[in-house]
């Protein structure tokens, strides 16, 4: 499917730094992207509701990854999916009487508009689950050939233990894997499964649900294989970064990695598994199932500048859970104004130290709060020297405007 328009990304003088990033599987911050082409797959939305601040924060996080790589001279191949057929989407359509496809189309379109407003650089390939069913079937066939598939009442399951490294993405103890699997769409108690953690690859048609023809009978794909198939088809392995929110580390990224590793007989599926922390509202994870949501589109329509929404996100480190608040947005609006005032002020402070600092902070595991503090210091110095004779650096305004745009995705 089509993605959304690409924002202009100014090029900056000199070269950016190599990005070091946290990897969940090893709990280390390590260098990313050894090659000229850097590859990234980020799990996309399940389009049954509008983009909330949690989604926005996750996509802005991985947008920083792309921006740091571009600045360091990499070509970036970025792929994202849309889970446009899945249990929660079908359940919502049933509840509201909507056609499931119309619901998915509408919410995906709103997501594109939100991403455009937030200046998130689009993926090269934006791929729906429905359109990737042929790829999913090919990968199921590979898993079958590897002896990793069995049926329960006609539904196909993946033997997670066919991958000797199963468990090494999220590194959870067995009892935790079972608990979290049950919580996040899994079916550990289904009779007939060989291992309670085995996951669904292909589900036979159920009354009233959409289904597609396949050599395994009419049905629809399981969730994890959707992402592995799309990523392997469009990027190959190993991908440099598999991204998503921390709620996806287990089971989604664990099982997707094992499926990919068995299907390709290769390891690793991804060099980095990187996870954005959860955005909460009043202390509770913002989630479509809980319904405690602040939508990007609501804020946009209320007249909030998307640049301020982006700054409100960037004020938090991506690995720390945080609460979305009105005060946080108001602070971001004040910061945006202070920065805009500074780039319009007559006596700018030198900009090269800001560029060096923002590059260094972002390359160090995306320390966005540290990068914002560097621009704050420049804006404050500029304010203090405003009007002072001989204090001007004529190119500084332009350079700060460009670096804030290119590296932080914020337009001054």
Task: Examine residue 287 and tell whether it contacts ligand 5CA (CB under 6 A).
Answer: yes
Q: Measured in whole angstroms, how far is the alpha carbon of residue 2 from the centre of its chain?
A: 18
Cα distances from 14 to residues 8, 11, 352, 406, in angstroms, run 19, 9, 10, 13
String of contacts with ligand 5CA for each residue 205-244, x by CB under 6 A: ----------------------x----------------x
Q: Which does 54 bind (CB under 5 to 8 A by kind): Zn ion, ligand 5CA, none?
A: ligand 5CA
Of 3, 24, 25, 81, the one binding ligand 5CA (CB under 6 A) is 81
Task: Compute the least distance from the CB of residue 387 to Zn ion, in Å.
Answer: 53
d(CA 17, CA 305): 30
Task: Work out which of 93, 170, 200, 278 binds ligand 5CA, going by CB under 6 A.
Answer: 278
Q: Running DSSP on this structure, what letter comes out for residue 43?
A: -
Whether 261 and 269 have beta carbons less than 8 Å apart is answered as yes
User: Per-residue b/e over 40-67, b at no fewer than 16 CB within 10 Å?
Assistant: bbbbbbbbbbbbbbbbbbbbbbbbbbbb
Residue for token pair 């909507």 = 98
Query: What is the end-to-end Cα distance of the chain in Å, rounded?
Result: 32
Candidate segments 49-57, 308-316, 328-336, 356-364, binder of ligand 5CA by CB under 6 A: 49-57
The pair of structure tokens assigned to 116 is 């455009």
Tell me the per-residue interface mask from 238 to 267 with ligand 5CA, x by CB under 6 A, - otherwise: ------xx-xx-------------------
Give exposure, 338-355, as e/b (b: 16+ Cβ within 10 Å). ebbebbebebbbbbeebb
d(C-alpha 342, C-alpha 412), whole Å: 10
Look up residue 155 and give its two tokens. 């539904």
Least Å from the CB of residue 314 to ligand 5CA: 14
Q: Which does 363 bind (CB under 5 to 8 A by kind): Zn ion, ligand 5CA, none?
A: none
Q: Is the bond leading into 92 cis (omega within 30 degrees of zero)?
A: no
Q: How many residues bind Zn ion (CB under 5 A)?
A: 2
Q: How far is the CB of 134 from ligand 5CA (least distance, A)?
A: 18
Which entry of ligand 5CA, Zn ion, none binds 294, CB below 5 to 8 A by partner kind? none
Q: How many Å apart are CA 92 and CA 280, to the nearest integer? A: 22
Query: Which of 60, 201, 227, 229: binder of Zn ion (CB under 5 A)?
Result: 227
Backbone angles phi, psi at 275, to 5 degrees: -130, 130
- Please select the residue that binds ligand 5CA; options are 230, 286, 308, 403, rule is CB under 6 A: 286
Q: Nearer to ligand 5CA by C-beta: 82 or 400?
A: 82
Q: Which does 279 bind (CB under 5 to 8 A by kind): Zn ion, ligand 5CA, none?
A: ligand 5CA
d(CA 262, CA 406): 39
Considering only the stretches 48-56, 91-99, 126-134, 220-228, report the one whose residues sit in contact with Zn ion under the rule CB under 5 A: 220-228
Which pair of structure tokens corresponds to residue 193?
């499964």
Considering CB distances under 5 to 8 angstroms, the limit depending on partner class, which of Zn ion, ligand 5CA, none binds residue 201?
Answer: none
Task: Give me Rg for the CA atoms of the chain.
Answer: 23
Q: Total residues at the site for ligand 5CA (CB under 6 A)?
A: 21
Contact pattern from residue 71 through residue 100 relative to Zn ion, giving x for each residue in contact according to CB under 5 A and a dash for the rest:
------------------------------
Based on CB atoms, which residue is closest to Zn ion, 122 or 347? 122
Among 43, 130, 197, 229, contact with Zn ion (rule: CB under 5 A): 43
Helix/strand/coil for 52: strand
Residues of this chain that bind ligand 5CA (CB under 6 A): 43-46, 54-55, 57-58, 81, 83, 227, 244-245, 247-248, 276, 278-279, 285-287
Residues of this chain that bind Zn ion (CB under 5 A): 43, 227
């Amino acid at each position: 499917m089509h993605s959304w328009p690409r924002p202009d990304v100014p090029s900056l003088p000199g070269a950016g730094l190599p990005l070091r990033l946290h990897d969940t599987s090893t709990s280390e911050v390590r260098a990313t992207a050894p090659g000229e082409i850097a590859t990234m797959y980020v799990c996309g939305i399940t389009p049954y509701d509008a983009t909330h601040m949690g989604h926005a924060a996750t996509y802005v996080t991985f947008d920083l990854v792309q921006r740091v790589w571009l600045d360091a001279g990499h070509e970036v191949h970025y792929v994202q999916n849309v889970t446009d057929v899945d249990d929660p989407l079908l359940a919502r359509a049933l509840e509201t009487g909507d056609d499931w496809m119309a619901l998915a189309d509408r919410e995906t379109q709103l997501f594109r508009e939100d991403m455009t407003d937030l200046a998130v650089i689009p993926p090269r390939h934006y791929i729906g689950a429905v359109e990737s069913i042929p790829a999913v079937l090919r990968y199921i066939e590979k898993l079958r050939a590897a002896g990793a598939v069995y049926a329960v009442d006609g539904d196909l399951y993946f033997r997670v233990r066919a991958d000797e490294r199963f468990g090494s993405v999220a590194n959870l103890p067995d009892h935790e894997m079972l608990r979290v699997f049950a919580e996040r769409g899994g079916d550990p108690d289904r009779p007939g499964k060989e291992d309670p953690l085995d996951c669904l690859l292909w589900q036979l048609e159920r009354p009233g649900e959409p289904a597609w023809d396949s050599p395994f009978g009419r049905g629809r794909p399981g969730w994890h294989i959707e992402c592995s198939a799309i990523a392997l088809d469009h990027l190959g392995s190993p991908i440099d970064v598999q991204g998503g929110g921390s709620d996806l580390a287990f089971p989604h990224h664990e099982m997707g990695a094992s499926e990919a590793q068995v299907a390709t007989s290769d390891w690793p599926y991804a060099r980095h598994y990187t996870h954005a922390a959860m955005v909460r509202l009043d202390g509770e994870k913002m989630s479509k199932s809980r319904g405690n949501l602040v939508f990007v589109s609501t804020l946009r329509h209320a007249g909030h500048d998307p640049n301020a929404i982006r700054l409100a996100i960037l004020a938090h480190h991506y690995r720390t859970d945080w609460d979305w608040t009105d005060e946080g947005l108001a602070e971001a609006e004040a910061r945006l104004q202070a920065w805009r005032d500074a780039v319009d002020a007559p006596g700018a402070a030198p900009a090269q130290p800001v560029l060096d600092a923002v590059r260094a902070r972002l390359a160090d595991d995306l320390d966005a709060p540290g990068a914002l503090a560097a621009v704050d210091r420049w804006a404050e110095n500029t304010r203090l020297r405003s009007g002072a004779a001989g204090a001007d650096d004529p190119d500084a305004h332009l350079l700060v405007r460009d670096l804030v745009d290119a590296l932080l995705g914020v337009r001054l």
